[in-house]
Amino acid sequence: MKSTIRICFFAGIVSLSIGWYYCFYNTSGHSAVDPLFGSILFVPLFLVGIFHIAASKGRELFSWLLSVVGFSGIVFGVFVHITAILQEYSYWVEAGLSTKNPNSNLLLLSYASVVVSLLFGILIISHVKAKKQLQHPDLAN
């Protein structure tokens, strides 16, 4: 089960990175697929992470990381859609062939830095908890 969680986590990171990269370097501002559809693909990752956190009583690092990646992927599609960084082609045509949001690169960089900060925060908390358990094994949860 642990290896499945890790594979899901890394697959989520790769998928989120590909989506971010595509949005960052897409100069037209439109795509054949609605960004909200991408959000749906991250729901199973989020749910698997949450269920595994409950099953492991919160002790498995990668289930926390998987939950953050799943939630970040869900929010990413909504974020890209709402801020008009990327629009489905039909919406783009209805909007009058609008240009890409001029602040899209700043918004995408801000989003990526928030996600990375969350992931590093979880890693730091996990490291501190592990170190505490090594120093005081009698205080283990």
Q: Over the stretch 28-69, which tens digit does the pLDDT of each residue have?
A: 777 888 888 888 889 999 999 999 989 988 778 888 899 999
Q: Which residues contact 57 (CB under 8 A, 6 or more apart)?
A: 141
The pLDDT value recorded for residue 11 is 92
Alpha helix positions (H), the chain: 2-25, 35-55, 61-82, 89-94, 104-135
The pLDDT value recorded for residue 140 is 54
How many other CB atoms sit within 10 Å of the CB of residue 29? 18
Which tokens is 76 given?
A: 């990413």
The pLDDT value recorded for residue 14 is 93
Closest-CA residue to 33 (of 102, 92, 110): 92
% the chain with pLDDT above 70 = 95
Amino acid occupying residue 134: L
Average pLDDT over residues 6-33: 87
The pLDDT value recorded for residue 44 is 93
Q: How far is CA 46 from each of CA 8, 43, 57, 117, rounded to the nearest angstrom?
A: 10, 5, 16, 18
